[in-house]
Amino acid sequence: MFIRRFLKHNRLTVRRITHKDRKKRSDMEEVANVFSHSILRTVEEDGILPYIDGPDKYASMYNIDQTAVYVDMNG
């Protein structure tokens, strides 16, 4: 009872996984690599983080997405 009132009072919800997809690990790695390269290209082209040089340039980039994604990495 307390939990329900707390959730309602704070406008929170409990989320569940609604879809599960099984893909090969190699397919998922390819998608991740394409995404990673597109982010790096965008950072370079748009001049994001121009004040940092060298290998530490990307150490200050963080993912702050609020969506939970569960990936089943079967090999």
Specify whether the CB–CB gap between 9 and 58 falls below 8 A: no
Give pLDDT tens digits for 42-68: 888 888 877 777 777 777 777 767 776
Specify whether the CB–CB gap between 68 and 15 falls below 8 A: yes
Distance between CA atoms of residues 30 and 27, nearest Å: 5
CA 33-62-69 angle, to 5 degrees, is: 60
Q: Which residue has the higher pLDDT, 74 or 39?
A: 39
Q: Write down the domain spans for the chain.
A: 2-60
Distance between CA atoms of residues 55 and 61, nearest Å: 12
Residues 6+ apart with CB under 8 A from 12: 6
Rounded to two decimals, what is the model's pTM? Answer: 0.47
